[in-house]
């Protein structure tokens, strides 16, 4: 009986090892690949796919190939939930990279926490995305940090004491940014002279901008994504509001949609997750390999945070020697790696401890200004 037990135990261990790291490890990807915020989803996917390609070329994870399975959720929370269910129930993925924007990420996170599947977002910066979800991580900094950073930058670098805020009342990302920015400004002794709201669906912001101009701020914090922000900058000039504009990572890409890029030059400053002219070995290597694969230089910070999200997840699988959910999550929690966007470790909220980059525009091109340490 003892010999039989030992034999069964050995078979179980071998079987467990095989299931722990199968010949092909499936990782799900959730991103808006079409629609209004597709630029962010495509940028994340490009970074992730580059890392996975390099990983497989180097032998995968302990000899096993990694397969990415992507679904386009179109920037919609319901679509994201449907895609998540396909990944988990039909594709049987071992982990997920995603989602990209805050609302779909919040929706998916509520489901992911129920089964404990390892999940990491490269771009969702809303604080609540990882709140109460020990299995949900992010490779990007979060909204309160970048909003506080920009309020401090306005004070320290621009000498601004009177500020206005314009935000999207229907968007959690925008509301969170606006609140954190205003709170930090008040702590800094800066005055919020105007606090106006609209929605991303608006095409005319002139009423809010006229109200703001009447209060004579020295700078305007635009808590919007790049599409509406381009309209805001253009219409601000039309109503005579000529002040520096401040923003967050959602501003990335504004130069591709604004009618007059000259309005941005040394006039719009925003927080971002990466600068293409960073000089670390990892950043330089990433720049070269990305350009070689896609025939273009990295154009969006989420190219880099996508790469780092895949790095964190796959290094955790290597460390765990398994795709067991709990083992991988524990290894992610213990992360201490050098990524493209800097050294990555995690705090108690599963948010990365890392730098923020201040970016502006010169001749319509993104230009690095300052690296802000945590």
124 and 82 belong to one structural domain = yes
Number of domains in the chain: 2
119 and 155 belong to one structural domain = no
> 355 φ, ψ to 5°?
-90, 165
Residue that terminates a domain, selected from 218, 240, 272: 272
Q: Which domain holds residue 215?
A: 143-272
**pLDDT band for position 310 (cuts 50, 70, 90):** very high
Q: Is residue 200 domain-resident? A: yes
**pLDDT band for position 15 (cuts 50, 70, 90):** very low
Compare 133 and 36 and report the one with higher pLDDT.
133
Share of the chain above pLDDT 90, in %: 81
pLDDT digits (tens, 9 = 90+) for 208-257: 999 999 999 999 999 999 999 999 999 999 999 999 999 999 998 899 99
Residue that terminates a domain, selected from 256, 272, 288: 272
69 and 94 belong to one structural domain = yes
Tell me what pLDDT residue 18 has. Answer: 33
Tell me what pLDDT residue 137 has. Answer: 98
Quickly tell me which residue has 């919609």 as its tokens. Answer: 76
Q: Is residue 344 domain-resident? A: yes
Position 275 pLDDT exceeds 90:
no
pLDDT digits (tens, 9 = 90+) for 316-347: 999 999 999 999 999 999 999 999 998 899 99
129 and 213 belong to one structural domain = no
309 and 319 belong to one structural domain = yes
178 and 305 belong to one structural domain = no
**pLDDT band for position 202 (cuts 50, 70, 90):** very high
Contact 56, 358 (CB under 8 A): no
Quickly tell me which residue has 């495509």 as its tokens. Answer: 42
Q: Is residue 248 domain-resident? A: yes
135 and 9 belong to one structural domain = yes
Average pLDDT on 66-71 reads: 98
Tell me what pLDDT residue 166 has. Answer: 98
Paired tokens of 253:
């890409």
Position 125 pLDDT exceeds 90:
no
Paired tokens of 356:
């923020």
Of the ranges 281-295, 297-311, 342-356, which one carries the lowest mean pLDDT score? 342-356
Tell me what pLDDT residue 127 has. Answer: 87
Residue that terminates a domain, selected from 272, 292, 326: 272
Average pLDDT on 157-186 reads: 96
Q: Is residue 370 domain-resident? A: no
**pLDDT band for position 17 (cuts 50, 70, 90):** very low
Mean of pLDDT over the chain? 92
**SS3 (DSSP) at 111:** helix
Of the ranges 20-24, 112-116, 275-279, 367-371, which one carries the lowest mean pLDDT score? 20-24
pLDDT digits (tens, 9 = 90+) for 262-273: 999 999 999 988
Q: Which residue(s) pair with 5 in the sheet?
A: none
Tell me what pLDDT residue 11 has. Answer: 33
Residues in the chain: 374
CA distances from 230 to 66, 100, 124 (A): 39, 21, 21
Quickly tell me which residue has 């230009």 as its tokens. Answer: 367
Average pLDDT on 184-200 reads: 97
Global pTM reads 0.76
Position 3 pLDDT exceeds 50:
no
Q: Is residue 110 domain-resident? A: yes
| CATH number for the domain that contains residue 92 | 3.40.50.2300
137 and 6 belong to one structural domain = yes
Compare 373 and 349 and report the one with higher pLDDT.
349
Position 299 pLDDT exceeds 70:
yes
Average pLDDT on 195-208 reads: 95
Share of the chain above pLDDT 70, in %: 94
Tell me what pLDDT residue 84 has. Answer: 98
Position 142 pLDDT exceeds 70:
yes
Q: Is residue 374 domain-resident? A: no
119 and 176 belong to one structural domain = no
124 and 158 belong to one structural domain = no
Q: Is residue 369 domain-resident? A: no
SS (H, E, C) 70-103: EEECCCCHHHHHHHHHHHHHHCCCCEEECCCCHH
253 and 304 belong to one structural domain = no
Average pLDDT on 11-31 reads: 65
Tell me what pLDDT residue 110 has. Answer: 96
28 and 95 belong to one structural domain = yes
Q: Is residue 365 domain-resident? A: no
Tell me what pLDDT residue 20 has. Answer: 57
């Amino acid at each position: 009986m003892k010999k039989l037990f030992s034999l069964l135990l050995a078979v179980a261990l071998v079987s467990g090892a095989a299931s722990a790291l199968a010949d092909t490890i499936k990782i799900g990807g959730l991103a808006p690949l079409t629609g209004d915020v597709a630029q962010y989803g495509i940028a994340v996917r490009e970074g992730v796919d580059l890392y996975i390609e390099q990983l497989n070329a180097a032998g995968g994870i302990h000899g096993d190939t990694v397969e990415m399975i992507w679904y386009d959720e179109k920037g919609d929370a319901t679509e994201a939930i449907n895609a998540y269910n396909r990944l988990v129930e039909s594709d049987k993925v071992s982990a997920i990279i995603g989602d990209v924007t805050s609302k779909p990420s919040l929706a998916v996170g509520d489901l992911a926490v129920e089964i404990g599947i390892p999940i990491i977002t490269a771009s969702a910066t809303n604080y609540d995305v990882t709140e109460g979800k020990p299995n949900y991580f992010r490779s990007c900094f979060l909204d309160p940090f970048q909003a506080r950073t920009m309020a401090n930058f306005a004070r320290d670098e621009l000498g601004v004491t009177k500020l206005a805020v314009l935000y999207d009342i229907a968007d959690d990302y925008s509301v969170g940014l606006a609140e954190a920015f205003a709170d930090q400004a008040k702590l800094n002794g800066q005055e919020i002279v105007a606090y106006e709201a609209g929605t991303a669906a608006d095409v005319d912001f002139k009423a809010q901008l006229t109200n703001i101009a009447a209060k004579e701020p020295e700078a305007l914090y635009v808590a919007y994504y790049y599409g509406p922000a381009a309209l805001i900058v253009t219409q601000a000039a039309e109503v005579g509001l000529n002040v520096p504009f401040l923003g967050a990572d959602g501003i990335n890409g504004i130069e591709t949609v604004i009618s007059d890029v000259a309005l941005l030059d040394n006039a719009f400053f925003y927080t971002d997750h990466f600068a293409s002219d960073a000089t670390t070995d990892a950043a330089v290597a990433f720049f070269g390999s990305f350009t070689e694969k896609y025939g273009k230089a990295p154009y969006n910070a989420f190219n880099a945070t996508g790469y780092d999200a895949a790095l964190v997840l796959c290094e955790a699988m290597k460390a765990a020697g398994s795709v067991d959910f709990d083992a991988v999550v524990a290894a992610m929690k213990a992360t201490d790696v050098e990524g493209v966007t800097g050294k990555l470790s995690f705090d108690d909220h599963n948010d990365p401890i890392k730098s923020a980059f201040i970016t502006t525009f010169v001749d319509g091109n993104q230009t690095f200004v300052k690296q802000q340490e945590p």
